[in-house]
């Protein structure tokens, strides 16, 4: 086992460290972290609209036997315009705000003016955006929402790199030190801004003459092919997330390119479809499809208590462990584990580089993912159509992320039971291993251990 662990560590550790230091991946990760308040606020109003204000046929409350008269339902539907407006101002503009925060984050990585990089990224995004909806001179909402966020990511990264390239060659206007700093920064961004926006304007002009636009080109060449690789991306995340964690490398951060660049945009696209059509069935009837491997799906059904579904491990310790140290760690880790934070159990037990826990920790996520995928294709659970906070407790997260689906809540609890069963034999083995160690430890060993 030690040879196998050493071999895996030798292969994975350099790769994970290199990925973790990659500036573009860090910029995407940090950019999406800064957007999180908008994401969560928008998601809560989507939930309010589609669960707490919905009482018609097919709604959550209707399925629970709650019946309201038509006039009351119509009144409640009228209040949905409030949530709809909030959605338009949060999740509905994700592709617009993404280039700002990603460009700003990359500017910080490159040690240039982050605010200028972010502003130029937004300006560039709007420069290549078509201003036509039918016969009207307007920007289509489809270019601003979650479905187009990959375009925003690319523009944020490219513009920040262009800005860095120009600034580092001193193609800027330098003002005397006596000029206020805010004014000086504005002038220093003038030439880079002129060059970058000129290039973006030329790109927009050229693509218009070819009968397309930048965003459509990205959708055709990147987004659509990526959508067909959904299962590959999802399974890669499920497998490597815990494998990296086992060696002490933050799996979610190392794989942030998959999470923030692919699976989170898929979640936003699902939310947008649900918001537009009002139900999964209506969107499918209109010819649309939902992404299974959206990030909230993993939060709801796979990452139960955190990476490795360690809430199941905590429960297994309470059930079968007689080791005082493990039970104490489990007691301390339980409050955090309920809210999907598992560093206390990862480092306190520990799981990191623990050969006894290697097998269940690495295998539990693929098992839970397989159960979830099976349930999805059997029609037991719907796709994710909301984005609840990732800290939502097991069961409630699935309920909110599916806009009030009871079957999703029950599946999450079922998966928690499976994770507990996966960990149980290894908790028992850990007990036995400790007993053997204690039996073999002599009084002389104890005395030597106490010496300084």
The pLDDT value recorded for residue 117 is 96
Find the DSSP H helices in 128-180. 149-168
Statement to judge: residues 302 and 222 lie in one domain? no
- Rounded to whole angstroms, the Cα distance separating 316 from 419 reads 9
pLDDT tens digits for range 210-230: 989 999 898 777 656 666 666
- Rounded to whole angstroms, the Cα distance separating 321 from 383 reads 37
CB under 8 Å to 148, separation ≥6 — which residues? 95, 142, 215, 218, 219, 223
The pLDDT value recorded for residue 219 is 77
The pLDDT value recorded for residue 134 is 83
- Rounded to whole angstroms, the Cα distance separating 97 from 152 reads 8
The pLDDT value recorded for residue 230 is 66
- Rounded to whole angstroms, the Cα distance separating 358 from 394 reads 23
Statement to judge: residues 130 and 99 lie in one domain? yes
Statement to judge: residues 284 and 175 lie in one domain? no
Low-confidence stretches of the chain (pLDDT < 70) are 1-21, 57-60, 63-64, 178, 181-182, 222-230, 248-250, 253-254, 353, 433-452
Statement to judge: residues 207 and 339 lie in one domain? no
Statement to judge: residues 251 and 365 lie in one domain? yes
Virtual torsion, Cα 295, 408, 292, 44, nearest 10 deg: -50
The pLDDT value recorded for residue 436 is 58
Let me know if 214 is exposed, middle or buried by CB neighbors in 10 A (0-12, 13-18, 19+): buried
Taking the CB of residue 58, how many other CB atoms lie within 10 A of it? 12
Virtual torsion, Cα 77, 82, 83, 84, nearest 10 deg: 90
The pLDDT value recorded for residue 265 is 86
- Domain span at residue 48 reads 22-228
The pLDDT value recorded for residue 260 is 76
pLDDT tens digits for range 405-438: 999 999 999 999 999 999 998 888 877 765 655 5
Statement to judge: residues 223 and 284 lie in one domain? no
Statement to judge: residues 185 and 220 lie in one domain? yes
Decide if 239 is inside a domain: no
- On the question of a cis peptide bond just before residue 350, with omega within 30 degrees of 0, the verdict is yes
Residue at token pair 């050229």: 206
Statement to judge: residues 288 and 429 lie in one domain? yes
Statement to judge: residues 202 and 132 lie in one domain? yes
Statement to judge: residues 56 and 205 lie in one domain? yes
Decide if 39 is inside a domain: yes
Q: How many domains does the chain have?
A: 2
The pLDDT value recorded for residue 450 is 43
Decide if 236 is inside a domain: no
Helical packing angle, 70-89 and 23-47, nearest 10°: 160
Statement to judge: residues 250 and 220 lie in one domain? no
∠ Cα 86 92 95 (to 5°): 140
The pLDDT value recorded for residue 276 is 87
Please compute, for residue 422, the number of CA atoms within 13 A of its CA located in the half-sphere on the CB side.
24
Statement to judge: residues 83 and 210 lie in one domain? yes
The pLDDT value recorded for residue 441 is 46
Residue at token pair 């994710």: 384
């Amino acid at each position: 086992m030690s040879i196998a662990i050493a071999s895996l560590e030798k292969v994975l550790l350099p790769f994970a460290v290199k990925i973790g230091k990659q500036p573009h991946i860090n910029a995407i990760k940090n950019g999406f972290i800064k957007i999180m308040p908008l994401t969560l606020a928008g998601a809560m109003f989507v939930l309010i609209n589609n669960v707490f204000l919905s009482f018609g046929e097919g709604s959550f409350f209707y399925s629970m036997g709650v019946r309201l008269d038509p006039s009351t339902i119509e009144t409640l539907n009228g209040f949905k315009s409030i949530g709809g407006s909030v959605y338009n101002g949060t999740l509905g503009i994700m592709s617009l705000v993404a280039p700002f925060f990603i460009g700003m984050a990359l500017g910080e990585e490159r040690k240039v003016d982050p605010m200028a990089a972010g502003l130029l990224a937004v300006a560039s995004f709007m420069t290549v955006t078509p201003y036509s909806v039918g016969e009207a001179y307007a920007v289509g909402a489809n270019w601003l929402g979650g479905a187009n966020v990959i375009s925003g990511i690319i523009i944020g990264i490219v513009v920040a790199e262009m800005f860095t390239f120009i600034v580092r060659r001193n193609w800027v206007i330098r003002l005397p030190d006596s000029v206020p700093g805010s004014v000086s920064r504005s002038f220093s961004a003038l030439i880079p801004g002129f060059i970058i926006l000129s290039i973006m304007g030329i790109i927009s002009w050229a693509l218009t003459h070819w009968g397309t636009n930048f965003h459509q080109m990205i959708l055709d060449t990147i987004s659509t092919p990526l959508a067909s690789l959904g299962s590959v991306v999802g399974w890669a995340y499920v497998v490597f997330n815990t494998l990296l964690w086992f060696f002490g490398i933050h799996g979610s951060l190392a794989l942030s390119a998959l999470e923030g660049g692919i699976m989170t945009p898929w979640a936003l696209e699902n939310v947008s479809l649900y918001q537009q059509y009002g139900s999964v069935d209506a969107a499918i009837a209109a010819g649309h499809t939902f992404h299974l491997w959206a990030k909230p799906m993993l939060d709801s059904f796979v990452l139960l208590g955190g990476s490795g579904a360690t809430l199941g491990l905590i429960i297994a310790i309470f059930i079968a462990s007689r080791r005082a140290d493990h039970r104490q760690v489990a007691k301390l880790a339980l409050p955090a584990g309920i809210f999907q934070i598992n560093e206390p159990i990862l480092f306190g037990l520990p799981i990191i580089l623990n050969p006894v826990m290697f097998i269940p920790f690495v295998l539990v996520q693929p098992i839970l993912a397989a159960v979830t995928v099976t349930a999805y294709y059997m029609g037991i659970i719907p796709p994710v159509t909301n984005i609840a906070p990732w800290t939502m407790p097991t069961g409630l997260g699935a309920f909110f992320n599916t806009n009030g689906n009871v079957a999703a809540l029950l599946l999450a609890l079922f998966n928690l039971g499976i994770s507990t069963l996966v960990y149980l034999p290894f908790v028992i083995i850990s007990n036995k291993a400790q007993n053997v160690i204690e039996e073999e430890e002599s009084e002389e060993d104890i005395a030597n251990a106490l010496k300084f």
